[in-house]
Amino acid sequence: MQRKLQELQATLRNFVDQRDSLILVVSARDDEMAWVFKTLQGLDEEMDADLFLVCDPEAGPVAQYVTAVNAGVAAQLEMANTARAAKGGPRWAPLPTRCQDMRLPPHTRLQAAMIHVRSLIPIEADHRLVWCLLPPTLKDRSGYAELVSQLLPVDGYEPWMRSLRIIVRDDRSEPFLGPLLHRLRAPGVLVYEVDLSTAALTDGLARDAVDESRPVAQRMQALLQVAALDYSHRRYPQALEKYGLLHDYYAEHDAKAMQALCLQGAGDVLRQLGQAEKARERYQQGLALAIQTQALPVLLNLSMAAGEVCLELKKYPDAEGYFDITDRVAAKALNAHAKADALEKLGLAREYQSDTAGALRAWNDTAMLCRSVGYLDRLRSALERMARLYENAGMRQQRQQCLAELRALSGREEAR
């Protein structure tokens, strides 16, 4: 297991570091993409000199896919500007309007976004822009393949491609992109096939965890992943026991971020066992540790979980506080979807405290963010909640506006 993940990490890192190829095709199944995303997030945190743009909306009709990708990039730029402003730095210019002009071909709009973002950072050999077009599922395969083929350096490398790396995906179960690029004799393309299937990972993890020839730290990392698998397969007592052993090990080595991760795992298990109060205690303990490390992904997940369990326990002021933390951490981590999730739940916590105005503010913020990044499921949920509150308050005009947008949203979804 560890060897497979190390191979994936090394392949992605080496692709970013090399200078001869523009595109890396990662051939993976849908259920393996989470590992690819996790690895890229780790590299993003590790490789400070590089800017990673991980775009993961589902690849439906290619025109809508590019719209969603560019909307996500625009939201990341806006969140980055918030952070830059807090430090007294200048704002980055927003994406040009042509990036969302549906009259233009999808590849033209995507290339315009790439050129713009490329212009924002210094063009240096050690400062790369890594653009990851990695939909978790592939619906419009022909459209996605056409989009990727339009990014190839068929006439040689162009100025806008300098220091750019593009990572795309193929379907390992039914390859379509790799064979197409091979037929096109596409220059500047590498293909990497991964096998991170559940069966392969489970077997590898079990072997790594008990392999006494491996360093203890690696065995503990494997054990942590086995605990997560125990949890996913509802082997709750086994998962809880492993999280306890791991917590003690990481406490002995003063690895606070890993301690926090184990406490979150234990809290998740306790919630499934119906022990919400104990789960809340574990989340609080984990947050106290994570805050000391400023490990944003750990902080994000713990604060969200703490808020959710407080909702279950009807501790609504506490829930509001945790979701407010999640909102701010998500903004700092440039995670627009997590920010939208936190804002919606922040509105719920306020509604349960009879703070109707506060709930509406949170849901309006949710809807605004979701529109900008194409997060349609969360947008629908926020609009439905607002429509309900407007109806209860007798605010007919506002309710009708929400209902009209919901109808338009349904039309967009049916057209996909």
- DSSP per residue over 134-184, as a string? --SSBS-HHHHHHHHHTTS-TTS--GGGTTEEEEEEE-SSS--HHHHHHHT
Let me know if residue 405 belongs to a domain: no
Burial-class residue 248 by CB neighbours within 10 Å (0-12, 13-18, 19+).
exposed
Interhelix angle for 336-351 vs 62-86, to 10°?
Answer: 80
Let me know if residue 202 belongs to a domain: no
**Distance between CA atoms of residues 216 and 404, nearest Å:** 59
Tokens of 376: 């349609």
- Using the CB atoms, write b or e for 313-338: b if 16+ within 10 Å: eebbebbbbbbbbbbebbbbbbbbbb
Which pLDDT belongs to residue 227? 87
- 271-325 pLDDT, tens per residue? 999 999 999 999 999 999 999 988 898 999 999 999 999 999 999 999 999 999 9
The answer to whether 402 and 383 are in contact (CB under 8 A) is: yes
Distance from the Cα of residue 246 to its chain's centroid: 26
Q: How many CB atoms lie within 10 A of CB 399?
A: 18
For the residues 25-29, what does the mean pLDDT come to?
91
Please list the alpha-helical segments (H only) found in 333-375: 336-351, 356-373
Q: pLDDT confidence of 99, banded at 50, 70, 90? A: very high
Q: How many CB atoms lie within 10 A of CB 259?
A: 25
**Distance between CA atoms of residues 351 and 355, nearest Å:** 5
Let me know if residue 334 belongs to a domain: no
* Per-residue DSSP letter, 234: T
63 by DSSP, 3-state: which?
helix
Cα within 13 Å of Cα(296), Cβ side: 15
Let me know if residue 89 belongs to a domain: yes
In the predicted structure, residue 94 carries a pLDDT above the cut 80: yes
At residue 186, what is the residue type?
Answer: A
Q: pLDDT confidence of 45, banded at 50, 70, 90? A: confident
**Distance between CA atoms of residues 261 and 192, nearest Å:** 30
Let me know if residue 50 belongs to a domain: yes
Let me know if residue 409 belongs to a domain: no
The answer to whether 1 and 201 are in contact (CB under 8 A) is: yes
- 153-192 pLDDT, tens per residue? 877 888 888 888 999 999 988 899 888 888 888 788 999 9
For the residues 191-214, what does the mean pLDDT come to?
68
Let me know if residue 5 belongs to a domain: yes
Which pLDDT belongs to residue 153? 85
Which pLDDT belongs to residue 200? 60
Which pLDDT belongs to residue 206? 63
The answer to whether 365 and 323 are in contact (CB under 8 A) is: no
Q: How many CB atoms lie within 10 A of CB 413?
A: 12
Which pLDDT belongs to residue 5? 77
In the predicted structure, residue 40 carries a pLDDT above the cut 90: no
What are the phi and psi torsion angles at 117 (to 5°)?
-65, -35
In the predicted structure, residue 381 carries a pLDDT above the cut 60: yes
The answer to whether 115 and 37 are in contact (CB under 8 A) is: no
Let me know if residue 32 belongs to a domain: yes
Number of domains in the chain: 1
Q: 4-8, 177-181, 256-260, 402-406: lowest mean pLDDT where? A: 4-8
Which residue shows structure tokens 């400023």? 294
Cα within 13 Å of Cα(355), Cβ side: 14
For the residues 251-262, what does the mean pLDDT come to?
93
What CATH number has the domain bearing residue 148? 3.40.50.12060
Average pLDDT, the chain: 87
Which pLDDT belongs to residue 229? 80
Which pLDDT belongs to residue 406? 93
User: Which residue range is the domain that position 177 belongs to?
Assistant: 1-196
The answer to whether 76 and 53 are in contact (CB under 8 A) is: yes
What are the phi and psi torsion angles at 167 (to 5°)?
-115, 125
Q: pLDDT confidence of 359, banded at 50, 70, 90? A: very high
227 by DSSP, 3-state: which?
helix
